[in-house]
Each structure stands twice: as structure tokens, then as C-alpha cells.
A = this chain, B = another copy of it.
Amino acid sequence: MSKYHHGDVRNVLLQQAENILIDEGPAGLSLRRLARLTGVSEAAPYRHFDGKDGILAAVAISAFERFAEQLEIAAASTENHEERVMALGAAYVQFAVENPQHFRLIFGRERPPLDQYPELRDAADNAFDVLQRAVTSVDRKAEMTLTEAATAYNRALAAWSRAHGIAMLVIDGMIVPPADQELSNFVLGLLAEDLTIPASA
């Protein structure tokens, strides 16, 4: 049995790290345990990653990529602007609910600093670009004044914030989506809610 150079340690570590992250979160992801589970020495991970942050960064990058994919799919699902914003919001929340630990990783405090991991920064920027493009592109053919552009940007922020808030509150258990309803319908309802005062008292 050859102990040295099994050849795929990096990928195995990454996959195992992903598994641990999914059912225990970044807190439960200890390098030593990861090494033991992978069947490798406790210092081996340091040959492939820049310590714990390095592993978290790698996982976060792939999480950002999958996140961006889902958003792009949603953005491409319709030509109508309003529907697109709604679909994006629903996809945003759905990703968070289906991948709560990944979502927390890419938005939370245990995410390694973006300025220390350029690839991580790129992955993050890309995801948000997808969002912003899809929300702000009401009509790509129209010329926009500066004011209109600013408004579009604000609309993107507002939409993003709403979806993000719902996602966070749902995965933190502060909002419990009704069991008798599709999650996406519930989310769509919330997204469509505006806060102007209703007609009746």
C-alpha cells in the first residue's frame, strides 16, 4: 500500500470539507478532523491549502459559482422585467434554503477576507453582477439619463435587500414559511408586497 502521493488528496479534502460544512457549518469544520476523515495526516491539508481560511475560501468560491448559476437560470426564465425580478428573488431564497450553510458561508463572518483571496472576490463580484444586470436591465435598448441609472441601481438594491432579508430570516428560523404553501409562492408573495398604505382601515 503506497501511503505517499495518493494523487487526489486536494479534491478529496475539498469534497469532505463540503460534506462537513453541509451538516455542521464552518464551526464544525476542523482541519484535524477533516484530515482524519480523509485518512491523511493532520498536517497534510497545509500542503494543499492556505490553512483553514484557504479551505473555506475554496468552498466559498464553488458556492458562489453555483449561486450565480442558479441566478442566471432564473434571470433567463422570462423576458418580462417584473417577472424576472421576482424569479430572481425566489431563486435567491431558494438557494439559501437549499444550501443554508453555503449561503451563510458566503455572506457570513467566517468567510475569509475577500482581499486575501482574489478568486473569492471575483466569484462574489460575478454573482452580484448577475443580480444587478438582471434587475436593472429594464430595457437595454433605451438610453438612460444619470437619474434613471441611479434609480435603476436603487431598485436593484431594494430587490436584493428584500430577497436577502427573507433568505436570512428563513434559514435562521425567524420566519417560518407556511407548510401548506410552496416556498416559492410564499417568497413571491412577500417580494410583491409593497408597503404603501392599504385602501381600507
Contacts and interface: CB of A to CB of B under 8 A. Distances in A.
A98 to B, nearest CB: 17
A161 interface: yes
A119 interface: no
Contact of A158 (B27, B82, B107, B193): B193
Interface residues of A, number: 48
B175 A169 contact: no
Interface stretch (A8-16, A35-43, A58-66, A149-157): A149-157
Given A109-B27, A189-B154, A190-B154, A197 B161 contact: no
Interface in A162-188: 162-169, 172, 174-175
Given A161-B162, A161-B175, A198 B151 contact: yes
Nearest to A27: B109
Interface string A83-113: 0011000000000000000001001111000
A79 interface: no
A85 B25 CA distance: 35
A166 B161 contact: yes
Contacts of A158: 162, 190-191, 193-195
A49 interface: no
29 contacts: A25-B109, A27-B109, A27-B110, A81-B197, A107-B168, A108-B109, A128-B174, A138-B201, A141-B201, A148-B200, A154-B189, A154-B193, A155-B193, A158-B162, A158-B190, A158-B191, A160-B169, A161-B165, A161-B166, A161-B169, A162-B162, A162-B165, A164-B165, A164-B168, A165-B166, A168-B168, A192-B195, A194-B194, A194-B196
